[in-house]
């Protein structure tokens, strides 16, 4: 039985389709074959609202549909908004507006979750717990509280039964992804199954608030060396799978700094601190806040920038961090060859790539941006176009890089709104140069050389054992080596046809020579009425018969054999 044949999922599947059809996507779903795949009859689905379809853009209708479908699809839309390589820019812009704000859960339900997860009555855990939430989202809501030691904290609580709802939707998404990969051309390009698995991992990570606590602790330790940056401390004694308790940070919401009349802090200083911190997180640490929008940023009275809500983070391993650094260096130094090489080194190509042509297009793209004054260069938009161009050459970029593009675009938008005179590109230039110096410093080269020597040492130390095992296998009578040449059968077929033609040509030539020779023998050199003439005629006729028989045998052999 298929996934959609299960009664408990069929109703939800029909509800999902109904929402998308109502927002004008019925024809699209029908063309993909999704209605038929789900064994849902189109006549049972609601008709498309034509007025709504013409009144709103595709992106706006998609955003409204995702918001209506709840937490799983809101998260899906937020992740899709990081993929400008997959979706048109106007759709991405709309998905960035997704509102994850819903009516709060009743306080008694929140109390039940906290007490069950932390194993004690609420009064024993906190001296004060505000029943009115600071914020209510589709997955969790946040309350202010006071610990028994007098410390002000915020408590994040998952909504009851949210995991069951999300798991049900994820099963449907997995099945849809598998269907699209197998039945549509889009699957060859996008690999929806892998994307569904990645989304599954992402959303389950966000559902475990202990992981968010670990992310918060990790970022707090990494940014401790950065001036003017703060990350809240986790109260682990009051944290569990469904409950996260953090130090309360009192300050201004970043959105307040967007008002022209706001003069409580130095906006330019705040913007530079924010941009520098995120770029250092990416290029220095390889661990960064992936969603630095105004709602996740607080500014203290002294201009310190605090990062909150570490549900979505990005990670870059050493090699990927170097590649991204080289991409930035290629832009800063106007070296498109370095940029192309970094893209090629991702090893994400799904087919042959015309590197010369790609480099030419990157040159045009680079020049179009870098001819602008520094303050007008949009680094996030530039990387968005670079990654979209790479995707058009069938270079499938890792998810970390598309997330990077989205992070930079979000960061750039915040910086531009609070201090338009600050250029993210200008802030990035000295950081890139410093990181490049570190990359080619004596200590780094020494470290890499020692690491390479260690790896080669392990390889050489294991070589004698490998050779001994190999020689033992060679001595074994049953040991065989199989070699296979790619397209070997095609080449042998061509050779066989050529040899057949040559053989046939030689046979025909032989027959021609023999025929002419016999004709000459019959027609010349013997007097008329010679007694040998009848005897020779018999021999000639017999010889011609043998030649014809041999020729027929040769033709049959050529036509029936593959050798």
pLDDT at 5: 46
Phi-psi region of 57 (alpha: psi -120 to 50; beta: other; left: phi over 0): beta
Phi-psi region of 39 (alpha: psi -120 to 50; beta: other; left: phi over 0): left
Higher pLDDT, residue 335 or 122? 122
Tokens of residue 437, six digits: 């110096």
Tokens of residue 229, six digits: 């940056």
Higher pLDDT, residue 344 or 199? 199
SS3 525: coil
Q: How far apart are the first and last CA of the chain?
A: 49
Tokens of residue 279, six digits: 């770029």
What is d(CA 477, CA 283) in angstroms, rounded to the nearest whole number?
56
pLDDT at 372: 75
> What confidence tier does 101 reach under pLDDT thresholds 50, 70, 90?
low
SS3 128: strand
The CA angle 138-143-76, to the nearest 5 degrees, is 20
Phi-psi region of 227 (alpha: psi -120 to 50; beta: other; left: phi over 0): beta
What is d(CA 517, CA 522) in angstroms, rounded to the nearest whole number?
9
CB 155 within 8 A of CB 244: yes
CA distances for 59 relative to 171, 260, 439, angstroms = 25, 31, 42
Active-site annotation, residues = 291
Nearest to 169 by CA among 19, 381, 305: 19
Question: How crowded is residue 344: how many other Cβ atoms within 10 Å of its Cβ?
Answer: 16
Beta bridge partners of 519: none
| Digit-coded pLDDT (tens) for 25-67 | 888 887 887 777 655 554 455 555 544 555 788 889 999 999 8
> What confidence tier does 1 reach under pLDDT thresholds 50, 70, 90?
very low
| Digit-coded pLDDT (tens) for 403-442 | 888 888 889 889 989 998 898 888 998 999 898 888 766 6
SS3 86: coil
Nearest to 216 by CA among 246, 238, 242, 239: 246
Q: Which residues contact 488 (CB under 8 A, 6 or more apart)?
A: none
Mean pLDDT computed over 449-475: 70
| Digit-coded pLDDT (tens) for 148-176 | 999 999 999 999 888 888 988 999 899 88
| Digit-coded pLDDT (tens) for 479-536 | 666 666 655 565 566 666 666 666 666 666 666 666 656 555 555 555 545 555 565 5
Nearest to 346 by CA among 378, 386, 379: 386
> What confidence tier does 297 reach under pLDDT thresholds 50, 70, 90?
very high
The pTM of the whole model exceeds 0.75: no
**CA 259 from centroid of its chain's CA atoms:** 37
Percent of the chain scoring above 90 in pLDDT: 27
The pLDDT of residue 118 is above 90: yes
Sign of CA dihedral 542, 548, 552, 557: positive
E strand or H helix that includes residue 385: helix 379-392
SS3 303: coil
Residue 486 dihedral angles phi and psi, to the nearest 5°: -60, 130
Q: Which residues contact 190 (CB under 8 A, 6 or more apart)?
A: 86, 180
């Amino acid at each position: 039985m298929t996934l959609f044949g299960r009664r408990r999922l069929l109703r939800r599947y029909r509800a999902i389709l109904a929402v998308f059809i109502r927002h004008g996507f019925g024809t699209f779903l029908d063309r993909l074959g999704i209605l038929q795949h789900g064994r849902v009859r189109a006549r049972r689905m609601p008709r498309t609202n034509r007025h709504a379809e013409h009144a709103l853009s595709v992106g706006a209708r998609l955003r409204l549909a995702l918001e209506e479908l709840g937490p799983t699809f809101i998260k899906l839309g937020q992740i899709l908004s990081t993929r400008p390589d997959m979706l048109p820019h106007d759709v991405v812009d709309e998905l960035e507006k997704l509102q994850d704000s819903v009516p709060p859960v009743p306080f008694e339900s929140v109390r039940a979750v906290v007490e069950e997860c932390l194993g004690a009555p609420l009064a024993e855990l906190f001296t004060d717990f505000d029943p009115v939430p600071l914020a209510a989202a589709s997955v969790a809501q946040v309350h202010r509280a006071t610990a028994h030691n007098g410390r002000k904290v915020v408590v994040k609580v998952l909504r009851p039964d949210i995991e069951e709802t999300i798991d049900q939707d994820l099963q449907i998404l997995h099945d849809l992804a598998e269907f699209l990969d197998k039945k549509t051309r889009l699957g060859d390009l996008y690999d929806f199954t892998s994307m569904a698995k990645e989304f599954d991992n992402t959303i389950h990570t966000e559902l475990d608030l202990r992981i968010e606590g670990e992310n918060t602790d990790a970022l707090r330790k990494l940014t401790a060396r950065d001036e003017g940056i703060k990350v809240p401390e986790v109260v682990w004694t009051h944290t569990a799978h469904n409950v996260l308790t953090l130090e309360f940070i009192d300050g201004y919401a970043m959105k307040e700094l967007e008002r022209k009349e706001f003069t409580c802090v130095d906006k330019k200083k705040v913007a530079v601190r924010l941009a520098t911190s995120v770029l250092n997180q990416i290029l220095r640490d390889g661990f960064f806040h992936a969603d630095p929008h105004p709602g996740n940023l607080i500014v203290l009275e002294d201009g310190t920038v605090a990062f909150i809500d570490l549900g979505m983070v990005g990670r870059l391993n050493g090699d990927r961090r170097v590649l991204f650094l080289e991409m930035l260096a290629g832009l800063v130094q106007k070296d498109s060859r370095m940029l192309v090489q970094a893209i090629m080194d991702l090893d994400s190509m799904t087919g042959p790539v015309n590197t010369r042509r790609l480099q030419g297009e990157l040159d045009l793209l680079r020049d179009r941006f870098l001819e602008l004054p520094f303050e007008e260069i949009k680094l996030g938009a530039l990387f968005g176009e670079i990654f979209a161009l790479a995707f058009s050459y069938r270079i499938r970029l890792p998810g970390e890089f598309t997330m990077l593009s989205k992070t930079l675009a979000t960061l750039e938008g915040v910086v531009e709104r609070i201090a338009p005179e600050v250029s993210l590109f200008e802030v990035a230039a000295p950081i890139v140069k410093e990181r490049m110096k570190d990359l080619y410093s004596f200590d780094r080269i020494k470290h890499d050389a020692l690491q390479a020597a260690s790896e080669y040492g392990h390889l050489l130390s294991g070589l004698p054992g490998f050779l001994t095992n190999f020689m033992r296998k060679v001595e074994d009578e049953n040991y065989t080596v199989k070699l296979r040449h790619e397209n070997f059968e095609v080449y042998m077929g061509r050779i066989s046809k050529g040899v057949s033609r040559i053989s046939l040509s030689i046979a025909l030539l032989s027959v021609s020579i023999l025929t002419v020779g016999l004709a000459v023998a019959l027609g010349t050199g013997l007097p008329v009425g010679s007694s040998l003439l009848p005897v020779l005629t018999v021999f000639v006729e017999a010889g011609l018969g043998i030649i014809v028989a041999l020729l027929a045998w040769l033709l049959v052999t050529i036509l029936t054999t593959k050798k």
